[in-house]
Structure 1
Amino acid sequence: MTHHILKPHWSRYLGPHAPDPHKFVYKPHQEPVFTSPFGPFPPSPEDLNIHELCFPPNNPLPEDYPLLVNAVTEEVITLHQFYARVCAMARVLRHDGPNPLRLGKSPVNDKEDGEILGLFSRNHLHYPAVAHACFRSELVFGGISPASTPYELWWVLRKMQITSIMCHETLLPVLQEAFKLGSGEGDKLPLKLVLHPKKVIVLSDNPQLDNVLGHRTIESLVREGTKLTERPRKLLGGNRMAYLFQSSGTSGLPKAMIITHKNGYHSGIQTLITAVQAGRYAGVEPLSPPTRTLGVIPMYHSYGMIVWILRVNLVQNTNIMLPKWDIELALKAVQKYKITHLPLVPPLVRQLAQSDLTSKYDLSSVIGAVSGAAYLPPDVAHQLAKKLPQGAAMPIPSGYGLSEAASIASPAAPGIFGLEPALPGTIGYLLPGMDGRVVDPDTLKDVPKGQKGELWARGAVVTPGYFKDPQATADIFSEPAWLRTGDLVMRDEQDRIHYLDRLKEMIKVKGLQVAATEVEDTLLDHPEGLVRDACVAGVDNGRGDGSLFVRGWVVLTAKGQAESEVNMAKKLDEWVKTRLSRHKWLTGGIEVVDLIPRTPSGKMLRREMRDRYHARMKTEGKAKL
């Protein structure tokens, strides 16, 4: 069979059963399992590697162009420079090559042990090349949040079984503090720290350095790899593990979630399929002309992986990187680089929608903006769209996905396949290759259209599970291949999906996930033993942007009761701040209560605590600390 997916033409994204956007009309139905109007994914080789999809071995590189640009320093990485760096690094990282770092072979799945490289860095021009060098050298990596405290880093290093790590030079103190916490001997987690202090590679902003604090730099590896001879190999991928995501799952501190090569490249091409079909429907050349994207989404995140890494060379796109969010710098970049696409999260959409600064800059180059990672209020979606060429008639769409399945649903081009518009308030239609069900979370029976239930998803983007955590994996797969998303939705008569609420005990803070149980465990773990029981939930922040404040309710021990309430709250607040990242802090305050309501089976009723608080705020207008 000929696999067209490796040919350098937009038709590679259309399989033999792709629907014709002019002739095919999607017909909604009443069956429990519904599918994407876009049909299945195009066929691909069983062992396809993400890097070989992006850079097919028998295809010459296209004409060179700027691939990555730092909006602050104006440093540029072209496509050809990127590819050369990737090849050089891959020669050094191969376990069966010269191997100056003494790296072992990576595991194929979580039944094996082996080399896993942690990537611990803020957004950086050279981060995507390191990821592709890992794909090319078949080295599994794990993306780690640069906002991690030493304790959180220590935990993630253990959950991912990181054996070597790339660390940005500014984060070396955090890594050093994490090492001081030891191997974890004596606690209940079976996965101990296996990272060797000598297997640290530094990502430095100074390209001249070969060493930082005795550790090799990424640039030194590139220089060494450039001198090595390329050894042609057939790369392996498919269902082999490619990388790990940091995921909070449904409870506790972060888990390590497996993403295979098959998961990764299908996530990368999903919205390219929709773009090709939209282009065909509109009668224009698909995926043309070249695009320029505002790059602010974190690279370690599932959303960022798609934006920065999984689509390199699949389309001609230049990412204009903002090292950190700054609204005026973002607007200047849009005007200066004539940016065409804005991938955003709801708090950034709101800032742009409400800022007077937008009138100072030329935004006419923007073809479209899109929001992800959290709920986007309809009024905000319309408000920003008014400021862009698309106008209020085309409000900012909000895609839907999870770390466990990066892209599941999204609004479709108006009219394509006869589809009704998916306006803000819905998360649209299933994306290519996806199947869906709406299931009663208690009975696990499918519910009829128009009724609330948990969204279950099936498709090639769905993770095989959590790394070395069979119980957590079993929790998200009540039936084989069907991922329980933990989200309450409603499927309407047109097979659009309406997002209603989270079933999982997760709190969204500026697009980032906070596990309520993680904060609760931290409160209960106060060294002075002040708390007997704790409940944490997300409460309204009063801004209407979909982001929440984290609020805690505590039942005190005798020691806690001996403290003044103000002093006790201060101690608990400071303790949380020393243990957890900023977005997990108790910005909604701490309240002392006599008891935490629970069901007869012992399940905490967090929603009841949250609803009581919101009801009180309506009458009192202020929070009790």
Structure 2
Amino acid sequence: MALPSLYPDVEIPDVSVPAHVLSAGGTRPDAPALVDGLKGDTITHGQLAAYVDRVAAALHARGLRKGDVVAVFCPNTPWYPVVFHGIAAAGCVMSPINSLYTPDEIAFQLRDSGAKVLITVSPFLDRVRAAVDQAPVDEIVVMDGAEGHPSLLDLLSTDAPSVQVDIDPAQDLVTLPYSSGTTGLPKGVMLTHRNLVANVVQMRPIMDVHEGDERIIAVLPFFHIYGLTVLMNQGLAVGGTVVTLPRFDLEDFLRVIQDQRITRAFVAPPIVLALAKHPLVDQFDLSSLRTITSGAAPLDESLALACQQRLRQGADTGVTVAQGYGMTELSPVSHSTPDTGQEPPGAAADVPKGSVGYALPNTECRLVDPATGEDVAAGLRGELWVRGPQVMKGYLNNPQATADTLDGEGWLHTGDVAVVDEHGHYTVVDRVKELIKYKGYQVAPAELEAVLLGHPEIADAAVIGVLEEESGEELPKAFVVRAAGSSLTPETVMEYMAGKVAPHKKIRFVEFIEQVPKSSAGKILRKELKAAR
């Protein structure tokens, strides 16, 4: 049974991504659009629109045409949106490459996407050269300049005429991000102009937007769809200021929030964990923050509350800590917790902290038993299926993977296990493929990780299932990062868990590690833990 959103549908403009996102360039041209968090360099909304026009013209003058793929391999800078929207305005497709990728991984994406041009920065040039030896491109643009390569300044200084490309928002691709590869080789996710415009518009009703006063810290990478849509495009579309950081460093992050008077932080759970537990937080004034929204991985209720309570102590601030849900194939958001006062008509104001909130406008959901394919009864767990205008077009050159994920009725099978309560609040409990099967029970690693993080001497934790050969059962194993000065033993961790969870959920093995491996978006890389055990 399809469960509609509790929000009324919103109208989705039939326009390109740049046409929608850059509209503030005409209404607030002198307002700051982008700020370098470390250097302070600023690009106004008017300058952004002008720069985008020049990049599009330069790409067109170099022979690129509608549908051509331009790969971007670059950390967050104020110039990243200039490049993205310039590519989009030229009718081309931007394929963002993870800044941590090796030459082999870069080459795979260049080859698979068919990229004709690669735009990068000089510190990444060694990896780029090694990659293009395997997968050649027509040209490498080095944004900050390098001998033998055109720079971003060369593109911006072109005198080529402006271009007007006939874009069909519903069909034409604007970006081709690659999925994380946690379930096999990375796959190119085909996202259209309509997908991204829809998602930006869908988020507007859940936000109490302070026109001209939204200041968003962009530390999550723009090469990830969360950063690209939620931080970058959504921030610019509301006429706000997006303050960039090239990587996460806690002290830089806190200082930028303080000095730039940041109002919104979109983060991943590891950052919430740092805000809740790290002593450095107390040295900075974070009172400008109104909301912290976590995504990319489940955020436990107790951790969200601990972070919120800590930031409210001794500060005249009403900051709230909440979470949303999405995935690359959803452009990325399908569910989120609204700002206070932006709840669906007739809904209660309080959304449980462990919940990902409500389905966005224009979004339908189903909860399906993975074994039977039937919808589960109310209040029971099932795989979350989503249908809406933010659902991807499919996977590039991979009809089988597309058919396995996106069915003929337009339902995207997320692979995530969720439950919805009587108020329309969704809670995502784990991945279908990550559930630990023990004596007929399904044990969710994320649930056990949340309990582990409640221990004051545990700084971080991850849980996987390990096979016991004699019984054939999967047993929960915890990888634990001790807090500074802790003398925890495996026995004390197991005793702690035994007092907190049902017998079938008890941790059976404990291994102490220095750091939990995570993706740039904050997802635990369980496959690395399984490979190393």
The answer for the alignment partner of 2:79 in structure 1 is 126
Which of 35, 44, 49 is the aligned partner of 2:13? 44
The answer for the alignment partner of 1:92 in structure 2 is 58
User: Counterpart of 1:262 in structure 2: which amino acid?
Assistant: R
Equivalent residue of 2:333, what SS? strand
What are the within-5 Å matches in structure 2 for residues 19-418 of structure 1? 32-45=1-14, 48-55=15-22, 60-94=26-60, 99-100=61-62, 102-103=63-64, 105-107=65-67, 115-180=68-133, 182=134, 193=135, 195-196=136-137, 198-204=138-144, 209=145, 212-224=146-158, 227-232=159-164, 234-248=166-180, 251-275=183-207, 279=208, 287-311=210-234, 313-389=236-312, 395-405=320-330, 406-413=332-339, 416=343, 417-418=345-346
Measured on the aligned residues, the alpha-carbon RMSD in Å equals 3.2
**What TM-score results when the alignment is normalised by the length of structure 1?**
0.69
What are the within-5 Å matches in structure 2 for residues 474-513 of structure 1? 474-505=403-434
Q: Deviations over 1:264-290 (max 9, x none)?
A: 111122221222xxx5xxxxxx54351
User: Counterpart of 1:93 in structure 2: which amino acid?
Assistant: L
**What TM-score results when the alignment is normalised by the length of structure 2?**
0.80
- CA drift of 1:463 comes to 0.5
Equivalent residue of 2:51, what SS? helix
- CA drift of 1:87 comes to 0.7
Equivalent residue of 1:216, what SS? coil
Q: Supply the distance in 1 between the matched residues of 2:111 and 2:160 (Cα, whole angstroms).
A: 33
- The number of residues matched between the two structures is 472
Question: Which structure 1 segments of 5+ residues have no match?
Answer: 1-31, 108-114, 183-192, 280-285, 508-536, 554-592, 599-604
The answer for the alignment partner of 2:494 in structure 1 is 618
The answer for the alignment partner of 1:419 in structure 2 is 347
Q: Are 1:469 and 2:422 matched, yes or no? A: no
User: Counterpart of 1:319 in structure 2: which amino acid?
Assistant: V
CA contact (8 A) 2:12 2:198 kept: no
Q: Deviations over 1:557-615 (max 9, x none)?
A: xxxxxxxxxxxxxxxxxxxxxxxxxxxxxxxxxxxx896998xxxxxx8xx25459999
Q: Supply the distance in 2 between the matched residues of 1:223 and 1:263 (Cα, whole angstroms).
A: 32
* Higher Cα radius of gyration: 1
- CA drift of 1:621 comes to 6.8
- CA drift of 1:317 comes to 1.0
Q: Supply the distance in 1 between the matched residues of 2:334 and 2:75 (Cα, whole angstroms).
A: 26
The answer for the alignment partner of 1:433 in structure 2 is 362
The answer for the alignment partner of 2:442 in structure 1 is none
Q: Percent identity?
A: 28
User: Counterpart of 2:156 in structure 1: which amino acid?
Assistant: V
Equivalent residue of 1:133, what SS? helix
The answer for the alignment partner of 1:28 in structure 2 is none
- CA drift of 1:173 comes to 1.0
CA contact (8 A) 1:369 1:396 kept: yes
- CA drift of 1:363 comes to 1.8
In structure 2, the CA distance between the partners of 1:427 and 1:612, relative to structure 1 (3 Å rule), is closer
In structure 2, the CA distance between the partners of 1:325 and 1:309, relative to structure 1 (3 Å rule), is closer
Q: Supply the distance in 1 between the matched residues of 2:89 and 2:414 (Cα, whole angstroms).
A: 31
- CA drift of 1:335 comes to 1.9
- CA drift of 1:549 comes to 4.8
CA contact (8 A) 1:34 1:495 kept: no
Q: Deviations over 1:165-196 (max 9, x none)?
A: 1122111111222234x3xxxxxxxxxx4x42
Q: Deviations over 1:488-513 (max 9, x none)?
A: 11122222212121114599xxxxxx
